[in-house]
Chain A
């Protein structure tokens, strides 16, 4: 709308937005003496996003991509009413946002809050505007120009066959690590929590009921059954309180981390082999319904109560000695927060369903760049939710017992000695307020986020008396869509493996052949289940080793996406603008390669996998020592393998760039030939 206003007014409005952006960001960045209000973060984020969208994305669209409203998109040319479909741009925006928004922008910023509120906030703002949104936007547009081809197909065509194979392997690897780490987040949120476990367990029969209702009673009435499912979930939360207050049922639902891990592994295998309509689809509907509503509610809650952030701008843990995860602010803050700033996984969505729905090339700006800005806003909300907690409480929840001590007194003494006062009585009162027996050592980010969210929600609606309900609502909200990711991710990986195995033995490639379904599902579940088990048994809480591994894998995928994007931009004879993707690429290479190096070779045993293995080997052996040594060596090998694969893509890409720029190689992009659109304005 502001695009259409007259020039002096436009200059005035955007000048004011720039001033607010600069002022609010400066306050966020330099304010030190007393706690800061969350509205400063909201103002800085809103104005930075508005400027990024209005000016930077417009520059990219016009100067680099030359988006063309007259060029027919695959949704128009190949429209079949199934995959390819001309769709309203706001509908595609909502669809795309629902697909990219997961637990990442909630959990990553909560974990990175151990450095203080400032590093995460600045990275989320700058990372989204200059890297994450750019990646999503350019990959979406390039996929639209190639009939909706996937990232791996584009990598193969534009950077060479080796690049394509490596990108394919990297996607499988990232899926396995992603599924393990999100499963670990759920395990840590639900262990020894009868209320939470009951609520999440109930979502399985609720999803089955929804599936049967859709199939047998009211075919296709998904919105209706999602509302019904949501009401049943609220009932389950309320019922969970009853369970937790009665020793008999509470005992049944009080599960250890190991039992929960086994249950989740069995569940995910079952979800992967049963028909989609029965479990996966209804759970997906339910989780999306809850996700969109809760994110909206959280945004309203933050603006309504505009809470004060108690976490300082920086903590002492920027030196790498943090209890939540070990490692210095550079590079670890930048791989811990992936979704919310830049996430390689988004490039799979931008080159998956979304490009097949775009009606006009010009709409890729709103969908690609705009939806990522919305996801980044979710990350800012997560930072606020974590930082409204007293730092002592934040560290008591997020620190593993192996670091702060096994007992409440030992943990609070250690944390207080760090300069973040907290008492065992404070923690007991908080645990009681949220209906838990204890909140110590709840690593993984989800419980801390749930406490922060319950704090904000209870102040907006219901007061302290309903804090326990809000806390379990928040846990349910996170666990619900994490389990949806497990369902969908296991199935996606299964299809990819079946596709590959089909080249060896044809029946294995048939996605409806049960022996193949069972074999490939078992392979995938065993792979991520192994890493989950490793995390559960890790004396340092698992998150310390698995989250960085996930961050590295995700950012390496973003590196692949940026390699492909830069290659295409250079081939389009836009080399003088290649910095738009090249600078984020250099940053990604710097952070991920440095982080990988540290994770493999760092001399601090809490950081370096090999040092940790050596440390364990020299310490007195226990029954678990051999397994822990093997796990650390395996993690080092996986990190090294990912690094090597991405190095290959990088080298292949640089060869392409040099060849094209020097004129030795023909600059031929693999775009679909131009076809004039015939879509009417109304339909587009």
Chain B
């Protein structure tokens, strides 16, 4: 059961990382902001000018 819980936890963390939820949480922590429209807009302003993650063929 512990292994299953651990696996589910890792899976959720993986999905959160892939789907940028974890990145947004880190952004909020780093900038000491609470989640809001303006915080999310600021998060994307920061990411907008970085090269996007390449997706392979």
Binding site for B on A (CB under 8 A): 81-83, 85, 87-88, 90-91, 93-95, 98-104, 178, 182, 214-216, 219-223, 226, 275-277, 280-281, 284-285, 288-289, 338-339, 343, 345-346, 348-349, 352-353, 481, 484-485, 488-489, 491-492, 495, 511-512, 550, 554
Q: Which residues of B contact A339 (CB under 8 A)?
A: 56-57
Complex partner residue of B55 from A215, A223, A485, A495, CB under 8 angstroms: A485
B 14-50 binary contact with A (CB < 8 Å = 1; else 0): 1111111101111101100001110111011011111
**Given known contacts A220-B24, A223-B21, A345-B57, what 9 new A-B pairs fall within 8 Å (CB)?**
A81-B29, A91-B10, A94-B11, A103-B57, A219-B36, A220-B25, A223-B16, A348-B54, A488-B55
- Bound-state CA distance A492–B27 (Å) is 23
Report whether B55 and A88 are in contact in the complex, using a CB–CB cutoff of 8 Å. Answer: no
Report whether A222 and B21 are in contact in the complex, using a CB–CB cutoff of 8 Å. Answer: yes
Complex partner residue of B51 from A81, A280, A345, A495, CB under 8 angstroms: A495
Report whether A99 and B19 are in contact in the complex, using a CB–CB cutoff of 8 Å. Answer: no
Q: Which residues of B contact A348 (CB under 8 A)?
A: 54, 56
Q: Which residues of A contact B53 (CB under 8 A)?
A: 99, 284, 352-353, 488
- Bound-state CA distance A226–B16 (Å) is 11
Report whether A182 and B57 are in contact in the complex, using a CB–CB cutoff of 8 Å. Answer: yes
- Bound-state CA distance A219–B43 (Å) is 10
Q: Which residues of B contact A100 (CB under 8 A)?
A: 56
- Bound-state CA distance A93–B15 (Å) is 11
Report whether B17 and A215 are in contact in the complex, using a CB–CB cutoff of 8 Å. Answer: no
Complex partner residue of B10 from A88, A343, A352, CB under 8 angstroms: A88
Complex partner residue of A343 from B14, B24, B54, B57, CB under 8 angstroms: B57
Contacts A81-B29, A214-B40 given; indicate if A95 touches B55 (C-beta within 8 A). Answer: no
What are the 4 closest A-B residue pairs judged by CB atoms, nearest first?
A219-B40, A94-B14, A104-B57, A222-B19
Report whether A492 and B21 are in contact in the complex, using a CB–CB cutoff of 8 Å. Answer: no
Shortest beta-carbon distance from B9 to chain A in Å = 10
- Bound-state CA distance A87–B25 (Å) is 14
Closest chain B residue, CB of each to CB of A174: B57
Query: Using a Cβ–Cβ cut-off of 8 Å, how many residues does chain B contribute to the interface with A?
Result: 38
- Bound-state CA distance A275–B41 (Å) is 11
Shortest beta-carbon distance from B8 to chain A in Å = 12
Q: Which residues of A contact B25 (CB under 8 A)?
A: 220
Contacts A215-B37, A222-B20, A353-B53 given; indicate if A91 touches B44 (C-beta within 8 A). Answer: no
- Bound-state CA distance A41–B11 (Å) is 28
- Bound-state CA distance A102–B55 (Å) is 7
Majority SS of interface residues in chain A? helix
Binding site for A on B (CB under 8 A): 10-11, 13-21, 23-27, 29-30, 35-37, 39-41, 43-44, 46-57
Q: Which residues of A contact B30 (CB under 8 A)?
A: 81-82
- Bound-state CA distance A125–B4 (Å) is 31
Report whether A488 and B52 are in contact in the complex, using a CB–CB cutoff of 8 Å. Answer: yes
Shortest beta-carbon distance from A230 to chain B in Å = 12
Closest chain B residue, CB of each to CB of A554: B57
Residue pairs across A and B with Cβ atoms less than 8 A apart, 21 shown, are A90-B10, A91-B13, A93-B14, A94-B11, A100-B56, A102-B56, A182-B57, A220-B43, A275-B48, A276-B47, A276-B48, A276-B52, A280-B52, A281-B20, A281-B44, A346-B56, A348-B56, A352-B54, A485-B57, A488-B53, A495-B51
Contacts A276-B47, A339-B56, A488-B55 given; indicate if A81 touches B26 (C-beta within 8 A). Answer: yes
Shortest beta-carbon distance from B38 to chain A in Å = 9
Q: Which residues of B contact A345 (CB under 8 A)?
A: 54, 56-57
Q: Which residues of B contact A82 (CB under 8 A)?
A: 23, 26-27, 30, 46
- Bound-state CA distance A298–B51 (Å) is 32
Complex partner residue of A349 from B16, B29, B39, B54, CB under 8 angstroms: B54
Q: Which residues of A contact B21 (CB under 8 A)?
A: 220-223
Q: Which residues of B contact A277 (CB under 8 A)?
A: 44, 48
Q: Which residues of B contact A511 (CB under 8 A)?
A: 49, 51
Report whether A338 and B57 are in contact in the complex, using a CB–CB cutoff of 8 Å. Answer: yes
Report whether A512 and B18 are in contact in the complex, using a CB–CB cutoff of 8 Å. Answer: no
Q: Which residues of A contact B37 (CB under 8 A)?
A: 215-216, 219
- Bound-state CA distance A100–B18 (Å) is 13
Report whether B55 and A99 are in contact in the complex, using a CB–CB cutoff of 8 Å. Answer: yes
Q: Which residues of B contact A275 (CB under 8 A)?
A: 44, 48
- Bound-state CA distance A216–B35 (Å) is 12
Report whether B56 and A101 are in contact in the complex, using a CB–CB cutoff of 8 Å. Answer: yes
Q: Which residues of B contact A221 (CB under 8 A)?
A: 21
- Bound-state CA distance A6–B25 (Å) is 43
- Bound-state CA distance A286–B11 (Å) is 17
Report whether A220 and B16 are in contact in the complex, using a CB–CB cutoff of 8 Å. Answer: no
Contacts A81-B29, A94-B18, A222-B21 given; indicate if A512 touches B49 (C-beta within 8 A). Answer: yes
Q: Which of B13, B21, B25, B54 has the most CB of A within 10 A?
A: B54
Shortest beta-carbon distance from B28 to chain A in Å = 8
Shortest beta-carbon distance from A317 to chain B in Å = 24
Complex partner residue of B18 from A215, A276, A288, A485, CB under 8 angstroms: A288
Q: Which residues of B contact A289 (CB under 8 A)?
A: 19
- Bound-state CA distance A214–B21 (Å) is 11
Closest chain A residue, CB of each to CB of B29: A81
Q: Which of A220, A352, A481 has the most CB of B within 10 A?
A: A220
Complex partner residue of B35 from A182, A220, A223, CB under 8 angstroms: A220
Report whether A87 and B17 are in contact in the complex, using a CB–CB cutoff of 8 Å. Answer: yes
Report whether B15 and A223 are in contact in the complex, using a CB–CB cutoff of 8 Å. Answer: yes
- Bound-state CA distance A289–B19 (Å) is 9
- Bound-state CA distance A484–B50 (Å) is 17
Shortest beta-carbon distance from B44 to chain A in Å = 4
Q: Which residues of B contact A343 (CB under 8 A)?
A: 56-57
- Bound-state CA distance A82–B30 (Å) is 9
Closest chain B residue, CB of each to CB of A175: B54
Q: Which residues of A contact B17 (CB under 8 A)?
A: 87, 91, 94-95
Q: Which residues of A contact B49 (CB under 8 A)?
A: 511-512
Closest chain B residue, CB of each to CB of A353: B53
Q: Which residues of B contact A346 (CB under 8 A)?
A: 56
- Bound-state CA distance A151–B23 (Å) is 25
Closest chain A residue, CB of each to CB of B19: A222
Shortest beta-carbon distance from A554 to chain B in Å = 7
Q: Which residues of A contact B18 (CB under 8 A)?
A: 94-95, 98, 288
- Bound-state CA distance A88–B19 (Å) is 15
- Bound-state CA distance A370–B13 (Å) is 19
Report whether A219 and B39 are in contact in the complex, using a CB–CB cutoff of 8 Å. Answer: yes
